Structure 1
Amino acid sequence: MNFETIEFYLENYGLLALFIVVLLEYMNLPGFPAGIIMPLAGIWAYKFNKSFLLVIVISVIAGLIGSWILYFLGFYIGRPLLNWFRNKFTKQSVALDKAIEQLNQKGYWGLLIAKLFPVIRTIISIPAGVIKMNFYKYSFYSTIGIIIWNLVFVGGGYIFGSAALNWFAKF
């Protein structure tokens, strides 16, 4: 998915499109890169005078639901899902192994830290389900990580969007 496509959906479908795109991104679906989606959501919020707080809340809810989906896939399908994931996404196998090691060594703090790094932040939910982390604690630490990640990237887009649009308005 490219920049123009995401922009089209945000402009035409608003917060619903934001929710769906962020949900899919947190489910680690290829083609939905956070480095494009999140800043673009911030630019969109500024450009169309949307509430920054509302955009953050929607993106956090979507991110948490996407994380829950992967958690429950890991919880109920477990090891076969990890093996399938390793075979399907060979480039991410190393990140997956690091995520599992992080969870085993650092527990919930490891989960929070993992939520702050690209690739690992989305796939960490699968091993968290596989090792059957307490769902409520998992949700709490995931939410903190999602809030931090989304604030940085959506906030960056919002700030950049306001600066860029103001700069271009001078000409």
Structure 2
Amino acid sequence: MLDQFAQYIESTVEFSRIWGPLIIFTLMAIESSLIPFPSEVVMIPAGIIIARHGDFWWSSPVGWGFAVAVGAGLAGSMAGAYFNYYLALWLGRPFLHKYGRYFFLSPRNLDRAEEIFREYGDITTFVCRLLPAIRQLISLPAGLAKMDFARFSFFTALGAGIWTVILTWIGYFLGRKFGDKSYRDLVFEGKDVLHDNMIWIVLALVIIVAVYVWIHQKIMGGAATRKPQPAETSE
């Protein structure tokens, strides 16, 4: 599947300068919604194609570069996340419990995502975008909790953007370093690189969450200290 996708997207962009980003956008939107679809099979091949076709940032012989690929991937991720957010916001928990199985969403997984969101709050919409398996689901409890849309957009874009850059960079790096290898070998090697370094991603997330919680507690503690005390009344 990985090799077929890589070959397909390359052959497509050779004929049209616009289809590559559109394919990336569409598949990342699917991946970020309720349909399970690994983003590694989208962004890693995109990075490989950029490495093999010239310019790094904006354009190349196929008409798009690193920044365009990341932008298309991020836009697709946000579209899928918004779909989940509004699905949960408008239709609610009963709908998801009843019909979620048609989207490969079990009540158990939904309850687990809600539990994580309730325990850690808004920051989970950032952290979970960088974790496989749960990254697609975390938008649902945010919608169920009626999370502020601006905050949801900010944290989701931050997490999805970092994840998209990581995957595209892995593909670009491998495409430059091992240009003679097949797409299949490079994509699978990219997945191995990602999995081998996942511990560092998780460690960075733990540090970020700890700093966020510490700052949040400081702010809340300071606000409580500055809160005026009610005046005592004499009898």
Partners of 1:69 and 1:6 lie apart in 2 by 26
Tell me, yes or no, if the aligned pair for 1:19 and 1:62 is still in contact at 8 Å.
yes
**Match status 1:7 vs 2:15:** no
Partners of 1:129 and 1:68 lie apart in 2 by 9
Partners of 1:102 and 1:52 lie apart in 2 by 33
Identity of aligned residues (%): 28
Task: Output the amino acid matched with 2:170.
Answer: G
* Aligned twin of 1:89: 104
* Aligned twin of 2:53: 48
- Aligned pair partner of 1:129 in 126, 138, 143: 143
Q: Structure 1 residue 150: deviation in Å?
A: 0.8
- 3-state DSSP class of the match of 2:130? coil
Q: 1:39 to 1:5 in 2, by over 3 A?
A: closer
**Match status 1:150 vs 2:164:** yes
Q: 1:37 to 1:81 in 2, by over 3 A?
A: farther
Task: Output the amino acid matched with 2:39.
Answer: A
Question: How many equivalent pairs are there?
Answer: 166
- Aligned pair partner of 2:80 in 63, 66, 79: 66
Which of structures 1 and 2 has the bigger CA Rg?
2
Partners of 1:29 and 1:87 lie apart in 2 by 9
5-14 or 114-123, which moves further after superposition?
A: 5-14
Q: Structure 1 residue 3: deviation in Å?
A: 3.2
Query: TM-score, normalized by length of structure 2?
Result: 0.64
Tell me, yes or no, if the aligned pair for 2:88 and 2:144 is still in contact at 8 Å.
yes
Partners of 1:85 and 1:157 lie apart in 2 by 33
**Match status 1:33 vs 2:38:** yes
Partners of 2:38 and 2:141 lie apart in 1 by 21
Highest relative contact order (Cα 8 Å, sep 6+), 1 or 2?
1
Task: Note the alpha carbon deviations across 1:6-54, whole angstroms, 9 max, x for none.
Answer: 5313531311111111111111423x32122221121122223331111
Q: 1:137 to 1:2 in 2, by over 3 A?
A: same
Q: Structure 1 residue 81: deviation in Å?
A: 3.3
Q: 1:10 to 1:67 in 2, by over 3 A?
A: farther
Q: Structure 1 residue 71: deviation in Å?
A: 0.6
Gapped runs of 5+ residues in structure 2?
13-18, 55-63, 183-235
Partners of 1:156 and 1:81 lie apart in 2 by 38
Q: 1:153 to 1:54 in 2, by over 3 A?
A: same
- Aligned pair partner of 1:159 in 160, 164, 173: 173
Q: Structure 1 residue 108: deviation in Å?
A: 1.0
Partners of 2:52 and 2:34 lie apart in 1 by 27
Gapped runs of 5+ residues in structure 1?
none
- 3-state DSSP class of the match of 1:165? coil
Equivalences for 1:111-130 in 2 at 5 Å?
A: 111-130=125-144
